[in-house]
Chain A
Amino acid sequence: MDLILEGLIKAFHLFLTLDPEVLGITWLSIKVSGLATFISVIIGVSSGMIVALTRFPGKKFVVSVVNTGMGLPPVVVGLFVTVFLWRNGPLGFLNILYTPTAIIFAQAIIATPIVMGISIAALQNLPNKLRLQILSLGATRVQMVWILIREARLPLMAAVMAGFGGVISEVGASIMVGGNIKGYSRVLTTATVMETGRGNFDVAFAISIILLLLVFLVNYIFTLIQQRERPR
């Protein structure tokens, strides 16, 4: 219990003194996981929409693969991405291993199936005849897609939150492809693991508390957007 209290005090101390290292780590976490979520939303929602709105053979198979992907262990993704990004690996020419870009890459892979899976469920949950109705009222295809997204906006925002929550809290891939390099590719979760390993439990708790607050803040903003009264 003392440790948690010490951690709380330390967290306030680090934050109030605007400790540049902790601020840097926090900012990098926001940047990396924010971008990874952004990429996964672009890919996940659009491909989820195609899967949800079209009929094709093997659709159930595709959906089960995506649903399996929702539980992809970050270390497995980290391992694959590392091997791919190695200098002699298939993507070695990118030269991004042990950089923040590599973390974004891995986290986008982790978040995409989560966003896609929830998007598919969200869009399939819309009444079937809604599409016909929208089209019969003379909407173009683009307008129809936009209206469908707005109709499914509650679960779609949930998809974004789940994706972000999945990557900001993930540590296995970040440490493997980012290397936890001080002032360069260290994020909140990898810093927590390192400080715990070194026995600096107060700092580890402080960073964890900052991480929790950050996740809460981001989800609070998302929830505000999600729960907003629709303009009439």
Chain B
Amino acid sequence: MKRLFFICMISMLALIANLTLAEAGDKYLLLASTIGPVDAGIVPLLEEQFESKTGIRVRHVGAGTGEALKMAEQGNFDLVLVHARSLEEKFVRNGFGTERIPLMYNDFVLVGPAADPAGIKGTKSAAEALKKIAAQGVPFISRGDKSGTHVAEMELWAKSGLKPAGPWYQVYEKGNEGNAPTLRYADQKAAYTFMDRATYLSLKNSIKLVVLVEKDEALLNFISLIPVNPKKFPKVNSEDAMTFVKWLTSPTEGQKIISNFGREKYGQPLFFPNSTEWQAAHKQ
């Protein structure tokens, strides 16, 4: 008993030493990030690559855009990664952040049966496509749970000037289970739906629906970086945060990783690089 106890003690002490050694003196920065890119795996991949290059560990927490900005307003983070333009601008205007830095975007697509009964294929404007769907009264599935995807869908309906209603417009009652179940349901019903590209690509091989409308400006979801203002919060690790920002926006480093992310698994990228530096490098 005594010996066993002794062994336990020693191994525990070794563990403590191991853990503290791993953290003491390491450089790190704190990032509050919107959940989508974290779950998609792009944020962890970027952090991993950045750490192996610079030795700076990025500690992130996933939160909704509003929540992430709120936590950063207390000066508890060095950098935020978010997607809600109006909130971002307010954050900068109130002096909490230094500037909005474009990082990348992903996009939504309109999917539907390959036969395309509403004839929306190739329509440039997503709002126009929705008008056609409503006019023809072909089945359309909505996630209907006030999630980011649903909110984006409602904004698009608002843009088209229509209030979707009628037997053709179905709110999937289990929509809160996520985008993947909603897409599968739409597939079973051979209906149209509004979906993020990543989910579509991950299910592409097991469903019959195809992408009919894409690349409209209104379908894009811009994700930006905002460094927390060191003038407002002196404790902020501005130096390392800016190193990270510079690495992320560099066309040969972070942006390149973003442009290749998902290519291998899905045959096309899930996110599109969008930094000013990337734009400049690819205009020439």
Residue of B nearest to A100 (CB): B19
Question: Given that A88-B235, A97-B30, A198-B39 are known contacts, is A179 also in contact with B59, CB under 8 Å in the complex?
Answer: yes
Nearest CB in chain A: distance from B36 CB, A:
11
Compute the total of residue contacts between A and B using a CB distance below 8 Å: 71
* Interface bracket on A: 20 to 34
Which residues of chain A from 85 to 114 have any CB-CB distance to chain B below 8 Å in the complex? Answer: 86-89, 92, 95-101, 104
B74 CB contacts on chain A under 8 angstroms: 86, 88
B48 CB contacts on chain A under 8 angstroms: 182-183
**Of A31, A179, A184, which is within 8 A of B61 by CB?**
A179
Residue interface mask B188-232, A partner, CB < 8 A = 1: 000000000000000000000000000000000000000000000
| Interface size in chain B (residues, C-beta < 8 A) | 32
Which residues of chain B from 2 to 57 have any CB-CB distance to chain A below 8 Å in the complex? Answer: 4, 8, 12, 15-16, 18-20, 23, 28, 30, 39, 41, 44, 47-48, 57
**A101, B76: Cβ atoms closer than 8 Å:** no
Question: Given that A101-B23, A197-B178, A198-B39 are known contacts, is A35 also in contact with B62, CB under 8 Å in the complex?
Answer: no
**A35, B15: Cβ atoms closer than 8 Å:** yes
Residue interface mask B54-90, A partner, CB < 8 A = 1: 0001011110000000000011110000000000000
B101 CB contacts on chain A under 8 angstroms: none
A96 to B19, CA, bound (A): 12
Which residues of chain A from 137 to 187 have any CB-CB distance to chain B below 8 Å in the complex? Answer: 150, 179-185
B245 beta carbon closer than 8 Å to chain A: no
Residue of B nearest to A179 (CB): B61
A residues sitting closer than 8 Å to B (CB atoms) are: 31, 34-35, 38, 86-89, 92, 95-101, 104, 150, 179-185, 194, 197-199, 225
| A-B CB proximity, top 3 nearest | A98-B59, A182-B44, A199-B180
List 23 A-B pairs, Cβ < 8 Å: A34-B12, A35-B12, A35-B19, A87-B30, A88-B75, A88-B76, A89-B76, A96-B23, A97-B76, A98-B30, A100-B19, A104-B19, A179-B59, A179-B60, A179-B61, A179-B62, A181-B60, A182-B48, A184-B57, A197-B178, A199-B181, A225-B1, A225-B4
